[in-house]
Amino acid sequence: MEVPRLRAAGPGDASGLLALKQELDRETSFMLLEPGERRENRGDVAADLARVANQVNAVVMVAETAGQLVGYAEARGGRFRRSRITAYVVIGVLAAASGRGVGAGLLRELELWAPAHGIHRLELTVMAHNQRAFELYQRMGYTVEGRRRECLIEDGRFTDELYMAKLLNTEGHEEHGTRHPGG
């Protein structure tokens, strides 16, 4: 497999991104939606990508190999002044591209993008038994901030979810604690 090209997605990626998400729905139970639950169409995805392109604190990054999307990561910042420095991350990588650095590359791209777009904190959730993703997030500097007990149901069983986050060194903010205006 060739090295994937990592880039920001645009409205022209709607068909490929929708196909990627639908394939992820089919091949893994670690994403939120099950096969057949995704109701968006190509037009919906194109409209969402156009909205994201017009938001200062949101982006969808894709990994492309041989003209096919093999992974994506999206970061969506808060809408209000107090929360716009925090972006929620969703990431998905096809099984065929897993273990080849695609997920780490996408997360690095988000971290490079974030400071210039006012993002100080990236956060995500991961199913507690998704060891491979959990270890990737830890290697990338994310820490567990909490556990949502029995918040999902998967194959008839309750599943816990871990809440993880990474604070970024952004100018004007301190790594830990709170910066107060005027001091």
- Quick check: is 177 in a domain? no
- The domain that holds 160 is classified in CATH as 3.40.630.30
Report pLDDT for 140.
97
Strand, coil or helix: 133: helix
Residue 79 has pLDDT above 80, yes or no: yes
- Quick check: is 160 in a domain? yes
Residue 178 has pLDDT above 80, yes or no: no
- Quick check: is 175 in a domain? no
* pTM listed for this prediction: 0.88
Q: What is the number of structural domains in the chain? A: 1
Report pLDDT for 38.
85
- Quick check: is 181 in a domain? no
Question: What gap in Å lies between CA 44 and CA 42, rounded to an integer?
Answer: 5
- Quick check: is 176 in a domain? no
Q: What letters, b where the CB count within 10 A reaches 16 and e where it falls short, cover 119-134? A: bbbbbbbbbbebeebb
Kindly report, residue by residue over 119-147, the tens digit of the pLDDT.
999 999 999 999 999 999 999 999 999 99
- Quick check: is 155 in a domain? yes
Q: How confident is the model at residue 171 (pLDDT cuts 50, 70, 90)?
A: low
Residue 22 has pLDDT above 80, yes or no: yes
Show the domain range for 130.
5-167
Question: What gap in Å lies between CA 163 and CA 136, rounded to an integer?
Answer: 14
Residue 17 has pLDDT above 60, yes or no: yes
In this predicted model, which residue has the larger pLDDT, 155 or 183? 155
Contact residues for 139 (Cβ-Cβ < 8 A; gap 6+):
104
Report pLDDT for 92.
96
Report pLDDT for 8.
96
- Quick check: is 180 in a domain? no
- Quick check: is 173 in a domain? no
